[in-house]
Structure 1
């Protein structure tokens, strides 16, 4: 009898151990299924690549604030490192590692994961970096490098040219009960019955330059990505926001409250407040037209400029200007008339105010009211 009792106890012990092992396996599986765990859960996730700081998915960029922080650290001589991943069209990750030791910048490009590329690791040493800001794009460019085209290497480019989109409009509602509204998209449908009176500001209030700035800010906020915004506040008097973006054939909707103090919430509140402030301004005069770009050609009393170029784009285009078909490029080209050409040379970056408007396209023509050279003031000093 005693022997049977011992056998039964042994069987029970085996079942208990088996159950514990099953629970452990289930726990491990649950943890594995929940995705990668990292010290910084806000960082982008790329399968097979660790410690990603900035992720560029075909122009939708996550972690831009880290790129800017790295640039600021370089300006102040603070040693830093940064990992950027660019996805190819086919979805393969290409890695750029930046390492700044306080004096020199090391750039390591790893394309070994690109199934359709060269699959190599290249290292470049550079002494400076420039943040080149244009009206429709911002580029981070390593300069004074010991290899690469023109002694420069483009690290990251953020494009935000509204005119390259088939459609960009937005609708902003704001207030405790969303009782105010700014609309740039023409209203084609009747509004649903509501007990709340809505103060609508039509599309004539928002100038094209303001829409361009809104689009830029949305791109910097990575608006195409999913957002987890706070929609409720403790106070019933808190400002609430609703933003609907019409982009090409799609739409993006965002709802949040002013109590959302997260990085994403603050970005969208700044965008909303900018729209509100601009919509309240009186548009009494037509804003002046300005153009900015690199001088590609000097001829008689005219300058041919390429708009939206960064310094590397200029280097690629300067020797082909005589033979190239301007229509084949996404850039805008303008011939500026009435310029004292003795003051300018190819390669100068200029900003000009136009009399009237630009006539035609590729290239357009315009008479200059005022013009000045632009100098890079944000190049990092050699240390």
Structure 2
């Protein structure tokens, strides 16, 4: 139950954050000379009152410093000693600090809740062996494993959620060109060319899902530190409007901006432009990815989008609770050679046709394989 409460807590907060009905124009903050204060390819560290040297800040699902989490993970894979400080905010706004320290052989995880006015106010130190990165179509998790004296021997370090289907509305309007003369608008379903002509736009759901993931990894809800001027003549301007639920974000920059934010958003713009020029499948293949929770009646019950820690917790809880109590989706897969799959296997299956029903859905398998 404790684990489910955590999922519901973060799920609700992410929806509340995305529903903020605000509009911002993020062009960076120029200094007295009219130039941006930050032109490096490394964004400044997040600022948290009362906490120094913060590398990653998780503000109810809006994450600043994802690239530092990724770099720490790569350092651990390479055996390089490294450390990282992550801060989470409670719903009341108090910071919870998670310090990671890798000495080249083991990982120390220190959870500091002393600044939480409503918590236990203690410090817990855990020794772990490894750090895994688990990437799913709608979330990415970093999990410490081989941990001593904690349930399942695992500690979730950070989870990044980017499930577009959990949003009531997600659309974009990209204008680009020397004078913003081109436009790609998924809201009006239209492409406008610089010569004044228009044509219909079709962007498949899987393309929009990938776009939404890219925006989340770029922390698009936060203020951006773009370079407002550059020396290159005929620079391409970009103006991206993101419509999310009842709110919107307006982001403007140029292709000559080589700050980390500039590079991220130019990549996003190029993805939108490239995909708008490609023929889109009317009915993309339906994919189910997750862990095997049950094997019975010639079917596999799959918990979709779970990570390794979610599975360990859910494999027991699902026997005692109704599936509608969980925020996850479940699918019963038919036509699977059961002898090839065991409980706890992670699979990726292509569906033959579509999924019928829900909690659990039911579908026939066209192709299925294990994911290591």
Paired position in structure 2 for 1:227: 224
Cα distance in structure 2, aligned partners of 1:322 and 1:198: 60
Residue 232 of structure 1, CA deviation: 4.1
Paired position in structure 1 for 2:211: 214
Paired position in structure 1 for 2:95: 93
User: What secondary structure does 2:249 align onto?
Assistant: strand
Confirm or deny that 1:278 pairs with 2:280.
no
Cα distance in structure 2, aligned partners of 1:221 and 1:336: 35
- Match for 2:288 among 288, 291, 294? 291
Residue 287 of structure 1, CA deviation: 2.1
Paired position in structure 2 for 1:162: 164
Paired position in structure 1 for 2:334: 337
| Native 8 Å contact 2:182 2:193 kept in 1 | no
User: What secondary structure does 1:303 align onto?
Assistant: strand
| Native 8 Å contact 2:183 2:193 kept in 1 | no
Paired position in structure 2 for 1:121: 123
Cα distance in structure 2, aligned partners of 1:324 and 1:57: 30
Specify every segment of 5 or more residues in structure 2 that has no aligned partner in the other structure, as ranges: 1-41
TM-score by length of 2: 0.85
Cα distance in structure 2, aligned partners of 1:130 and 1:180: 42
Confirm or deny that 1:63 pairs with 2:52.
no
| Native 8 Å contact 1:183 1:201 kept in 2 | no
User: What secondary structure does 1:331 align onto?
Assistant: coil
Q: How many equivalent pairs are there?
A: 331
Q: Deviations over 1:91-138 (max 9, x none)?
A: 010001000000000000001111111211101001101000000000
Q: Deviations over 1:333-374 (max 9, x none)?
A: 111111111111111100000111111211111110000011
Describe how 1:234-313 pairs up with structure 2 within 5 A: 234-283=231-280, 286-313=283-310
| Native 8 Å contact 1:181 1:199 kept in 2 | no
| Native 8 Å contact 1:185 1:203 kept in 2 | no
Q: Deviations over 1:166-206 (max 9, x none)?
A: 11111111222222221111379xxxxx99654545442x1
TM-score by length of 1: 0.83
Paired position in structure 2 for 1:357: 354
Paired position in structure 2 for 1:191: none
- Match for 2:145 among 143, 146, 155? 143
Which has the higher relative contact order, 1 or 2, with Cα contacts under 8 A spaced 6 or more apart? Answer: 2
- Match for 1:316 among 296, 313, 318? 313
Specify every segment of 5 or more residues in structure 1 that has no aligned partner in the other structure, as ranges: 1-39, 189-193, 376-383
Cα distance in structure 2, aligned partners of 1:102 and 1:47: 31
User: What secondary structure does 2:99 align onto?
Assistant: strand
Residue 63 of structure 1, CA deviation: 0.7
| Native 8 Å contact 1:294 1:347 kept in 2 | yes
Paired position in structure 2 for 1:22: none
Confirm or deny that 1:108 pairs with 2:105.
no
Residue 229 of structure 1, CA deviation: 2.1
Paired position in structure 1 for 2:46: 44
Cα distance in structure 1, aligned partners of 2:253 and 2:198: 20
Question: Does the C-alpha gap of structure 1 residues 250 and 202 become closer, same or farther in structure 2, counting only changes over 3 Å?
Answer: farther
Paired position in structure 1 for 2:5: none
Q: Deviations over 1:213-235 (max 9, x none)?
A: 11101110010001132354434
Cα distance in structure 2, aligned partners of 1:201 and 1:267: 28
Confirm or deny that 1:130 pairs with 2:132.
yes
Cα distance in structure 2, aligned partners of 1:202 and 1:326: 41
Question: Does the C-alpha gap of structure 1 residues 265 and 200 become closer, same or farther in structure 2, counting only changes over 3 Å?
Answer: farther
| Native 8 Å contact 2:43 2:261 kept in 1 | no
- Match for 2:325 among 317, 323, 328? 328
- What stretches of structure 1 move > 4 A for 4+ residues in a row? 194-201
Paired position in structure 2 for 1:15: none
Residue 49 of structure 1, CA deviation: 0.7
Cα distance in structure 2, aligned partners of 1:143 and 1:333: 25
